[in-house]
Amino acid sequence: MSHPLRTERLRHFIDSLAGLLDRQPDEATLLRHAQPLLADLVSHDDWLPGDLARPDPQRYQQYLLHCDSRQRFSVVSFVWGPGQRTPVHDHRVWGLIGMLRGAEDSQGFVREPAGGLRPDGPAIRLSPGQVEAVSPQVGDIHQVSNAYTDQVSVSIHVYGANIGAVRRAVYSEDGTEKPFISGYSNLHLPNIWDLSKENLAP
């Protein structure tokens, strides 16, 4: 018998992050205080609906879980089939990446004086429960890949905008930018607000 999803975990994260943003912190303060909120969410693997953790054999999937009504932030599940990876890309807004299942490698890049890109140190491996920050302030150009060639990995990303609608860029090796807007892989949001399906007894 399967256990019901603990969707209250995602609701609590959304509420806590919205409350943090209501205080209008600077970006460094925001990332510092939001990081443990996401770390707590991804330390539990009992809340993500199965249809929003489904891989595609052709490419990684980006499922929207929640978008703030004022588009101050969005929460997305990234689902990586075995060996799948992104192109080198940026975000143009702050972001936090928390690992839920499997593992992923994130290789940062910096621009050289001549305009090309070079790796910025070794790749960072994220394991379940770990969180990494990205933003134009702390490093915004990277390539992400599933660390495994034989299993699916799932990460939860939080961005400081409706990330599927943000005009950003993918990069070639010489640093040339190609604009793109990612969109989302799903047409419908998960219903995490139907409290009638949960035990409301005190």
The pLDDT tens digits for 79-110 are: 999 999 999 999 999 999 999 999 999 999 99
Report the greatest alpha carbon distance in the chain: 64
3-class SS at 189?
Answer: coil
Please tell me the distance from the alpha carbon of residue 129 to that of residue 39, in angstroms, as a whole number.
Answer: 6
Write down the mean pLDDT value for the chain: 94
Per the listing, tokens 């940026």 go with 90
Q: Which amino acid is at 100?
A: L
Per the listing, tokens 């790749």 go with 123
CATH of domain 8-184: 2.60.120.10
Which tokens is 125 given? 């491996």
* pTM of the predicted protein model: 0.94
Q: Which of 99, 100, 116, 117 is nearest to 108 (CA)?
A: 117
Task: Give the DSSP H or E segment for 96.
Answer: strand 95-101
**pLDDT confidence of residue 1:** 47
Give me the mean pLDDT over the 169-187 stretch: 94
Task: Give the DSSP H or E segment for 157.
Answer: strand 153-159
Per the listing, tokens 């609701």 go with 11
Domain ranges of the chain: 8-184
Please tell me the distance from the alpha carbon of residue 47 to that of residue 141, in angstroms, as a whole number.
Answer: 30
Beta carbons of 82 and 150 less than 8 angstroms apart = yes
Please tell me the distance from the alpha carbon of residue 38 to that of residue 176, in angstroms, as a whole number.
Answer: 33
- What pLDDT digit, counting tens, does each position of 12-24 carry? 999 999 999 999 9
**131-152: string of b/e by CB count within 10 Å (b at 16+)?**
bbbbbeeebbbbbbbbbbeeeb
| pLDDT for residue 55 is more than 90 | yes
Cα atoms in the Cβ-side hemisphere of radius 13 Å centred on 74: 20
- What pLDDT digit, counting tens, does each position of 60-84 carry? 999 999 999 999 999 999 999 999 9
